[in-house]
A and B are shown apart, each in its own frame.
Chain A
Amino acid sequence: QVQLQESGPGLVKPSETLSLTCDIYGYSISSGYYWGWLRQPPGKGLEWIGDIFHNGITDYTPSLKSRVTISVDTSKNQVSLRLSSVTAADTAVYYCARLCRSGDCFDYWGQGTLVIVSS
């Protein structure tokens, strides 16, 4: 059974960089699939941030592209997210997820981790 678990600081100061990791269990990243990050601000809908293939190919949502870096560490079976120059608008629950083989859906998700941007 594939399981994903997000972790990282729950509080980040404005203008700093948010860094999260997603540990993947039950599946080796090196075997394939795209792995994505999404977020949900309080009271708002889900937003796709971007995704990465095991070989490092990435795709980002245009609105965040200048501030986002998604990376993969196959030795640790982890995917990471960095979001720079954060503001209060980046406060959200952040999820990692595996894209379906077709790339058209998200078939496994983590429980999410809340990140609050505040001084």
Chain B
Amino acid sequence: DIQMTQSPSSLSASVGDRVTITCRASQSVSSSLNWYQHKLGKAPKLLIYAVSILQSGVPSRFSGSGSETDFTLTISSLQPEDFATYYCQQSDSTPPTFGQGTKLEIK
């Protein structure tokens, strides 16, 4: 299975900050990389698929980039509703696998 490693595992930031989360795959996943946002007790939400394509309805302050093994999720200006846990997921090979998550907390 492809291992996905996110860093950092947790992050404290303030409203208005620019935040970057990284995701590294144990082997190339080409452009088959997705990002999700999860708030406790809620359904996870697809933010970005295929590295950089915003899911419908997702604010433009979210962006994704990268290729092969190294990927980033950037939030350009943190809003109060953005404090959550973020997961990357590769879909290049079966089984699809997820990173361990990055918990974004209010500073």
Question: CB within 8 Å of B: which residues of A?
Answer: 4, 44-48, 59, 61-62, 95, 97, 100, 102-112
Q: Given contacts A45-B98, A61-B95, are A104 and B50 in contact (CB under 8 A)?
A: yes
Would A45 and B49 count as touching, CB distance under 8 A?
Answer: no
The CA-CA distance from A107 to B48 in the complex, in Å, is 10
Question: CB within 8 Å of A: which residues of B?
Answer: 32, 34, 36, 41-46, 49-50, 55, 87, 89, 91, 94-101
The CA-CA distance from A62 to B96 in the complex, in Å, is 12
Q: Given contacts A45-B100, A105-B49, are A110 and B43 in contact (CB under 8 A)?
A: yes
Cross-chain contact of A104 among B36, B44, B49 (Cβ < 8 A): B49
The CA-CA distance from A43 to B52 in the complex, in Å, is 28
The CA-CA distance from A108 to B46 in the complex, in Å, is 7
Would B34 and A104 count as touching, CB distance under 8 A?
Answer: yes
A-B contact pairs, 24 of them (CB 8 A): A4-B43, A45-B99, A45-B100, A46-B87, A46-B98, A48-B95, A48-B96, A48-B97, A59-B94, A62-B95, A95-B43, A100-B46, A103-B91, A104-B34, A104-B91, A105-B49, A105-B89, A106-B44, A108-B43, A109-B43, A109-B45, A111-B41, A111-B43, A112-B43
- What is the minimal beta-carbon distance from B93 to any residue of chain A, in angstroms? 11
Which residues of A lie under 8 Å from residue B91 when comparing CB positions?
Answer: 103-105
The CA-CA distance from A109 to B43 in the complex, in Å, is 5
Which residues of A lie under 8 Å from residue B98 when comparing CB positions?
Answer: 45-48
- What is the minimal beta-carbon distance from B64 to any residue of chain A, in angstroms? 12
Closest to A107 in B: B46
The CA-CA distance from A61 to B95 in the complex, in Å, is 6
Which residues of A lie under 8 Å from residue B34 when comparing CB positions?
Answer: 104-106
The CA-CA distance from A48 to B2 in the complex, in Å, is 13
Which residues of A lie under 8 Å from residue B87 when comparing CB positions?
Answer: 45-46
- What is the minimal beta-carbon distance from B91 to any residue of chain A, in angstroms? 4
The CA-CA distance from A46 to B42 in the complex, in Å, is 15
Beyond the given A45-B87, A59-B94, A111-B42, please list 11 additional residue pairs across the A-B interface where CB-CB is below 8 A: A45-B99, A46-B98, A62-B95, A102-B49, A104-B34, A104-B91, A105-B46, A105-B49, A105-B91, A106-B89, A109-B45
